[in-house]
Structure 1
């Protein structure tokens, strides 16, 4: 009788692992662009200027996006250098409301590459409304303003996933993964952007970076990290030498995640404010649980590489 029970238990465990492994392999076959080249998203001609907006793979995705602008004189193709350039995305929701997203408004000019650089964290895909970007440039010839509709697609690279939530302080927060774009089986520098929704502003207009509801950087917080492989076949195991994320001078949060193998990982987080109070997140059990799906924190982001 004991042998029969043991055989049944092993069959159920093997079946669970096989099903989970099948799902994992199917998900792992997801095609993720790996060229990591900046390509044209859209180009705009106005007056004597040609503006080329670039992003990775030539597409904009929900979550963190590095933005590059190439601005040239239309006839000579000479780059416009050291101008004052701003970049503002605005979403018109399905309900007709206008909102912005975490964004570097004033772009930085890279003299070596002759591009203006910044970033935007798009909070919604275009299925949830209409996105439009407004670009302004000020140089010796005056001020130029152009607007252009854009498409924001579903994020295909889970290493750039994001999550939004209400903290224990009843405030709205957003966490977006910034790096690594393509992790390695090693200790990886993990970079995240943490934003808080500030409703104290007065709305001015969609060509102005001031909105009633605007995301601002969360200052001096700490993001505790516990990475796990939650599939039953992986037993919810973790890895050594991980480091919690703390803020650096550029405003982003930096830590270390040690991926010991490829596959599905869950980044379990606990977000602490500057006073050390928990805003969101729970500790996960440390037990090794083969055959049982691992529990996740109240605050987590799934990744896959």
Structure 2
């Protein structure tokens, strides 16, 4: 009997060791998180008559959510122009020549208080040797349209607190969830913000490239993201935390909630995505069992973060 107990203990230790080696959590936790506040120039594009200066946080476009600022000025007089219609269409071309886009604001809005046009883009892939992004923009002023395009670079998002996920729901619609804030969480109750978007299948035959009607994405309205945060590594037993609040849509179009991180480390944001009628589009409940030594079970819909 004693031999059997020792054998069982040895097997358990080996199992835990293999699980820990599978995911190097300690190395991940050592990663430093930089928080960015300043919008800097990504690129300046000249249409002939106009200069468009594109800005993003840290002057870099990342995979995931990016707030975009565009300043428009006359090329000769350098006069800033506030009364134009400015469009923004990012296109990804893969190694096979297939073209797609990502959630984005096609028609930028002028921010009178700050003097720039504002929008967003949720880039779904990074620039690589097999895939590249090109930005197509148009400026319409006094009935005249000037179009321009330029290659852009999208970097990997090293801050896992700004991760994203893409999935097909039970309704066969393609959805995207992108974390917007916080960039650098605290051991506390954190205001959690995410963008939720969907792809609109084209209803008409494509016109001349790039035809915006083939690349339409929309903000998802009046849905809910039920939230269950867990620490998935074996030593944490997949435990959760109290005082979390599900994410619901607010006036800015984004989804807001509360996530309570009780310690630093690896966390998984488990979601159940529901429509306005409470029907589940994607996601599953996470078991409540405490599972020390075993990597935690995750929802069918989740995003991993780290701080």
Q: TM-score, normalised by structure 1?
A: 0.88
| Offset of residue 79 of structure 1 | 2.1
| Offset of residue 132 of structure 1 | 1.0
Whole-Å separation in 1 of the counterparts to 2:220 and 2:209: 23
Residue matched to 2:155? 153
State the Cα deviation string for residues 91-119 of structure 1 (Å, max 9, x = none).
22322222221111111222332221110
| Offset of residue 45 of structure 1 | 2.5
Preserved CA contact (<8 Å) 2:103 2:199? no
Pick from 293, 299, 302 the counterpart of residue 301 of structure 2: 299
Figure out how many residues of one structure are paired with residues of the other and give that number: 304
Q: How do 1:64-75 residues align onto structure 2 when only pairs under 5 Å count?
A: 64-75=65-76
Whole-Å separation in 2 of the counterparts to 1:191 and 1:55: 18
CA distance 1:13–1:259, shift in 2 (3 Å): farther
Preserved CA contact (<8 Å) 1:17 1:291? no
Residue matched to 1:60? 61
CA distance 1:35–1:168, shift in 2 (3 Å): closer
Q: How do 1:142-291 residues align onto structure 2 when only pairs under 5 Å count?
A: 142-202=144-204, 203-211=206-214, 214-291=216-293
Whole-Å separation in 2 of the counterparts to 1:265 and 1:180: 14
CA distance 1:205–1:243, shift in 2 (3 Å): farther
Residue matched to 2:123? 122
Preserved CA contact (<8 Å) 1:162 1:175? yes
**Is 163-172 or 118-127 further displaced after alignment?**
163-172
State the Cα deviation string for residues 59-86 of structure 1 (Å, max 9, x = none).
1122111111122233443322232211
| Offset of residue 187 of structure 1 | 1.6
**Is 180-189 or 59-68 further displaced after alignment?**
180-189
1:90 aligns with 2:83: no
**Is 186-195 or 31-40 further displaced after alignment?**
31-40
Preserved CA contact (<8 Å) 2:92 2:101? yes
CA distance 1:61–1:20, shift in 2 (3 Å): same
Runs of 5+ in structure 2 lacking a partner?
none
Preserved CA contact (<8 Å) 2:224 2:248? yes
Whole-Å separation in 2 of the counterparts to 1:176 and 1:205: 31
| Offset of residue 286 of structure 1 | 1.3
